[in-house]
Amino acid sequence: MVKNLTEGKPLKLLFFFALPMVAGNLFQQLYNMVDSMVVGKFVGEDALAAVGSSFPVVFLAIAIAAGLSMGCTVVISQLFGAGRIHEMITTVSTSLISLGVLGLIIMGIGEVIAEPLLKLLGTDPDIMADSLTYLRIYFGGAVFLFLYNTLNGIYNALGDSKTPLKFLIVSALTNIVLDLLFVIKFDMGVAGVAWATLIAQGICAVFSFFVLIRRLTALKREKDEEENKIIKHRLDTLTRWR
């Protein structure tokens, strides 16, 4: 649902708009928390320590993705508020391509610097192998992390903070199910929870993308129809004057 936040009581609009965003931030942190709980319960203390040692790097990746997407949100929301829909759609495309490519770059760099980062954080040698496995798989899904945060920002720019929350809830629940499946059923250990997170974030990003495309197509069609009506009205006016 696309919503114009310039109409109505500001305090009420902003309050109900912000609630899903706050909840979404909590659910985004849930990924690593669930991973830690599952490996701690079903794998062991070393596995729990391995996931925990990766958390600062994971949190940094999330912060970078969220920060960059926020910049895109500002520009897109300004264009949407001004009714410049065609320019807004171009900006959306540019944002998705740019941050998608950046996600791919970080995915590649992350595979190389994962071990030096863990050493810099003082990771115990006994858990280094598991920590490295978790972090490298997590970096493998960096493109999904960046795309989802960009999509989340675009939805917010269109006045819709509920849709990304719904996707994130489904993704978090999927992550829990896959964590339990990979760890208990397939005995994949730390790698299992990492793959579960990557798959859940990927599903969230892909479905969010296709829903956004459908909404942008509808917005473009409405704008074109509006412009056609204005042109037709002007032509009719000119005809009458003649």
Average pLDDT, the chain: 84
Q: What is the pLDDT of residue 235?
A: 64
Q: With bands split at pLDDT 50, 70 and 90, how would you rate the model's confidence at 233?
A: low
pLDDT in tens, 188-206: 989 999 999 899 989 989 9
CA 158/CA 170 separation, integer angstroms = 21
- By CB neighbour count within 10 A (0-12 exposed, 13-18 middle, 19+ buried), where does 17 fall? middle
Q: Count CA within 13 A, CB hemisphere, residue 189.
A: 14
Identify the CA nearest to 193 among candidates 47, 45, 27: 47
Query: How much of the chain exceeds pLDDT 90, in percent?
Result: 33
Say if CB 141 and CB 108 are below 8 A apart.
no
Identify the CA nearest to 179 among candidates 162, 159, 158, 194: 194
Say if CB 130 and CB 47 are below 8 A apart.
yes
What letter would DSSP give residue 7?
A: S
Task: Find the helix or strand (DSSP H, E) in which 186 lies.
Answer: none
Identify the CA nearest to 169 among candidates 2, 20, 18: 20
Angle of the 45-81 helix axis to the 189-241 helix axis, nearest 10: 10
CA 96/CA 83 separation, integer angstroms = 20
Three-state DSSP at 76 gives helix
What letter would DSSP give residue 182?
A: I
pLDDT surpassing 70 at residue 239:
no
Q: What is the pLDDT of residue 53?
A: 86
CA 199/CA 171 separation, integer angstroms = 9
pLDDT in tens, 84-101: 888 999 999 999 999 999
φ and ψ at residue 76, rounded to 5 degrees: -65, -40
pLDDT in tens, 49-98: 888 888 888 888 888 888 888 888 889 989 988 888 889 999 999 999 99
Q: What is the pLDDT of residue 9?
A: 65
Q: With bands split at pLDDT 50, 70 and 90, how would you rate the model's confidence at 241?
A: low
Query: How much of the chain exceeds pLDDT 70, in percent?
Result: 84
More confident residue, 100 or 40: 100
Q: What is the pLDDT of residue 234?
A: 66
Identify the CA nearest to 50 among candidates 138, 135, 145, 141: 135
Q: What is the pLDDT of residue 56?
A: 86
Q: How much is the pTM? A: 0.84
C-alpha distance from residue 165 to each of 18, 93, 121, 203 (Å): 11, 22, 32, 14
Q: What is the pLDDT of residue 212?
A: 93
pLDDT in tens, 139-165: 998 999 899 889 988 998 888 888 888
Locate tokens 């990924």: which residue? 31
What type of residue sits at position 238? L
Say if CB 200 and CB 174 are below 8 A apart.
yes
Cβ-based neighbours of 29, under 8 Å, separated by 6 or more: 62
